[in-house]
Structures are given as C-alpha cells and as structure tokens.
Amino acid sequence: MNNLSFIKQYLKNPKTIGAIMPSSKYLAHKMIEDIDFNHSECIIEYGSGTGVFTEGLVKNKSEDTKLLLFEYNEDFCKLLKDKFGNEKNVFIINDSCENIDTYLLKYNINNVDYIISGLPFASLPQKISEKILTKTRKVLKNDGNFITFQYTLLKKDFIKRYFKYIDLKREFKNIPPAYVFNCVNCK
Ligand SMILES: C[S@@+](CC[C@H](N)C(=O)[O-])C[C@H]1O[C@@H](n2cnc3c(N)ncnc32)[C@H](O)[C@@H]1O
C-alpha cells in the first residue's frame, strides 16, 4: 500500500486513522529500541496500520514470543495478513483493542510484557481512550511498558493518569515530528 492509499483511508476515517501517512522507519526504531526481546512472553500492538512498527517487532522477537496485532481497519488488516500471516506466533486481529481481554483468553496469554501503540489518542473519542487505557493497565504486567507516540504533548497528562511514570523521547525525522511516550505500569 502506498502513501496515496493511506491518505484515502485517512479521508474515509480521519478520527480513527489519525495520520495522513504511515510513520517513518526512524520513529519505528525509537518505538521498539527499548524492548527486551529475549525476555518477552507476549507483545501486543494496537493500531498496526500498514505494519511499520510490526516489521521490527516480527524481525526481533523470539520465535516463542506471542505477538498480537490489533487493527480496526479492514483494508489494513488484509495487508497485515498478507505480510505477516505466515509468521509463527503472530496473531492478526481485525477488532478494536478495546476487546483485548477476549483475545488474551482465546490465545491463552497470562502475562503481557509490552504494548506498542499507534493509536491516535488526540482524535479518538475520550470514552474509548479511557476504556483502552484502563484495560491496558489491567492486562500489562507490573513494570510492563506501554509505548505510544503522539505528535503533541496535549494528551500527556491524560495518559499519565494510568501509569507510574512516562519516559519521553522525540523523533524529529518523522513527518510530523513525534514524541515517544514510554509509560511504565504499576499494579
Ligand atoms: C496513526 S495510524 C498508525 C498506523 C501505524 N502504526 C503507523 O505508525 O504507521 C492509527 C491506526 O490505529 C488504528 N485504530 C484506531 N482505533 C483503533 C482501535 N480501537 N483498535 C485497533 N486499531 C485502531 C487505525 O485504523 C490506524 O491504522
């Protein structure tokens, strides 16, 4: 899928897509560079889109690590299935990550180490964001990490309410430049 197709998806669903083009490889690197791939039982990605972050997750994860990809958009989901459908222990889910608990049961997952998110919290309805973050905190292990990017700091205080602390980085070589929030969970 090229950038024009991504823009088309954005024009159809601006609030849930939340960006006019996929993230850059630079941002993808910053999103995953702190993951301890050798000691992860389960990694989850919210809003995989065309799979820019997924590529690094699939490439670096151990074979036994379960990777669940949540993507709400049907066209993006088909693309993810074409790209990653044959990978071992990668499960591609065409549903909202609000329903994460159902899939943890389905795939027999008790421990979630990392949740990587491409969700556009700035444009998602507040109630949906609240539901997602409440469940995220519940399913992530103690000291597990929720890693998300945002183009501004407007939602920082809102996201901070759910976690012990946030470690902040910035990637200028993304269009537009983005902040990476590494949020540490506390149970
Ligand atoms: C800003 S795009 C990010 C795509 C990709 N991660 C990237 O960085 O290029 C946000 C993605 O989140 C998806 N999305 C939005 N709300 C969602 C939800 N509740 N559950 C799963 N995916 C969702 C959208 O369909 C879209 O693909």
Which residue has tokens 């540490």?
184
- How far is ligand 1, taken at its centre, from the CA of residue 118, in Å? 5
- How far is ligand 1, taken at its centre, from the CA of residue 165, in Å? 24
Secondary element (H or E) of residue 85:
none
Q: Give the residue-averaged pLDDT of 63-74.
A: 97
Q: For a pocket test of ligand 1, which of 71, 102, 179 has the largest count of ligand atoms closer than 8 A to its C-beta?
A: 71
The predicted pLDDT at position 67 comes to 98
Residue 153, both tokens: 């700091």
Residue 142, both tokens: 């103690």
Which residue has tokens 């979630």?
112
Residue 29, both tokens: 């690197």
Per-residue DSSP letter, 24: P
Q: Give the residue-averaged pLDDT of 39-65.
A: 97
The predicted pLDDT at position 6 comes to 87
Per cent of the chain over pLDDT 70 is: 99
The predicted pLDDT at position 100 comes to 98
Q: Residue 3 pLDDT > 90, yes or no?
A: no
- Residues near 75 by Cβ (< 8 Å), separated by ≥ 6? 1, 5, 9
Decide whether any atom of ligand 1 lies within 6 Å of the 89 Cβ. Answer: no
Decide whether any atom of ligand 1 lies within 6 Å of the 56 Cβ. Answer: no
The predicted pLDDT at position 127 comes to 97
pLDDT confidence bin for 4, thresholds 50/70/90: confident
Across 65-77, b (16+ Cβ under 10 Å) vs e yields: bbbbbbbbbeebb
Q: Residue 80 pLDDT > 80, yes or no?
A: yes
Q: For a pocket test of ligand 1, which of 46, 130, 174 has the largest count of ligand atoms closer than 8 A to its C-beta?
A: 46
Q: Which atom of ligand 1 is nearest to the CA of 22?
A: 9
Name the residue with higher pLDDT: 1 or 13: 13
The predicted pLDDT at position 106 comes to 97
Which of 5-9, 55-59, 108-112, 170-174 is the least confident region? 5-9
pLDDT confidence bin for 61, thresholds 50/70/90: very high
Average pLDDT, the chain: 96
